[in-house]
Amino acid sequence: MGTIVDLIGKTDEQAVTELTAAFKNLGGKDQLHVKGSGDYRAVISGFQNSHWGQFDWLPIRVETGAWSGYLAAKSSSFASIVQIMESQHKHCDTMYVEAENTLNGGNETEGKVLMEAFIWNMEVHFGREEQILFPAFEEKTGMTGGGPTHVMRAEHEQIRGVLKEMKESLKEGDYQRIFDQAETMLILIQQHNSKEEQILYPMLDQHLGEDLEQIAKEVQLFVL
């Protein structure tokens, strides 16, 4: 889980200051579990402005007046689309495993929270691509109808179909059905992520040019 940084009740300015201080004391392989109640974008973008390229930000859940996520230090000082999006792929994978293990362990309340957070993070991931990355790629390359983003959008809809079924099973408390549905989902995600990491994301880093840094920052901050 990492060291907890409780920013609940702090002003945005106080939150940025405390987050910065905690980050300075962070070990290379450690991470901070950040909890806040203020303006999510103001706090994380304020931190991002002074530490760009030095960290991974992995949200758990962001709602009005309550948000949380993991902040981890990076070994390199450059933030590419490949690095940011690969980190979120791993984050989503880890969240699913934690949710399944928690439900299997009999902690129904916490397990449901974790599974809901996993599904939310998958939608955040798709939103990062569909609302920011794919349009930017299409504008730069002119590849639209038959290009790689068209294929990725179609695969998103496949995965969304399974996530919808999992969400319905979660509401019904049918956890075994969730695990069965997840077998299909995990195969789809593995194949999908491989295409993105090996082909699409490197193409984005290559073609975005001088817009790369600003787009990468927006991607890192994006939530639903």
What does the pLDDT look like over 125-173, one tens digit per residue? Answer: 999 999 999 999 999 999 887 789 999 999 999 999 999 999 999 999 9
31-36: strand order across its sheet: 3-7, 31-36, 66-73, 55-63
- Residue 1 pLDDT: 64
The phi, psi pair for 3, rounded to 5°, reads -70, 130
Residues contacting 61, CB < 8 A, separation 6+: 67, 68, 116, 117, 120
Band (pLDDT 50/70/90 cuts) for residue 28 is low
In whole angstroms, how far apart are CA 54 and each of 47, 161, 208? Answer: 11, 36, 21
Residues contacting 148, CB < 8 A, separation 6+: 137, 195, 199, 200, 203
pLDDT, one tens digit per residue, over 65-88 is 999 999 999 877 778 999 999 999
Average pLDDT, the chain: 94
- Map out the domains of the chain with their CATH numbers: 3-73 (3.30.110.40), 81-221 (1.20.120.520)
Average pLDDT over residues 192-212: 96
pLDDT of 121 over the 70 cut: yes
